[in-house]
Amino acid sequence: MSQLLEPVTLSVQGMTCSSCVNSVEKALNKVEGVSATINFATETAHILAPADMNPKDLIKIVEKAGYSATLLVDAQSVTLHSKKSARAFFFAFIFAVPAVAMSMVMSWHHQIDMWVHQILDNFGLPHPLYSATAWVVIALSAPWPRQI
């Protein structure tokens, strides 16, 4: 007869790389009857554990692995409540819309090129060998350093 499993979601803090994810996942999966997957992007651990297992025991296992964890009661809205995710989405949207529009509307290319050339002339900088519009799109869509 199989054991009754209960889903548990933990918020895991302190993971900085995929190796961290692997160490937490291995520590949780060593426990008999536990199946865990870690989502690095949302910093959560989704765990199927025996119903009689206390979530505090799972938190202790994560802490033994060197990270801190808290129990998430409402696991459905993990990403919606993350300020970091909301901020990233906002800036991605703000920069993506002009980048896509500039890439799609060919009639804007000449005007944007002339505008960029004028700005470069004002600063005494050489003009790009390739389309200035392409460089503007690259600047808008390139990843910027994250603030942690």
pTM tops 0.85, yes or no: no
DSSP-derived 3-state class of residue 2: coil
CATH number of 5-76: 3.30.70.100
Nearest to 39 by CA among 65, 18, 56, 63: 18
In the chain, which residues have pLDDT < 70?
1-2, 74-82, 146-148
CA 130 to chain centre: 32
Question: Could you tell me the residue ranges of all domains in the chain?
Answer: 5-76, 83-141
pLDDT of 115: 95
Question: Degrees (nearest 5) of the Cα angle 113, 119, 125?
Answer: 100
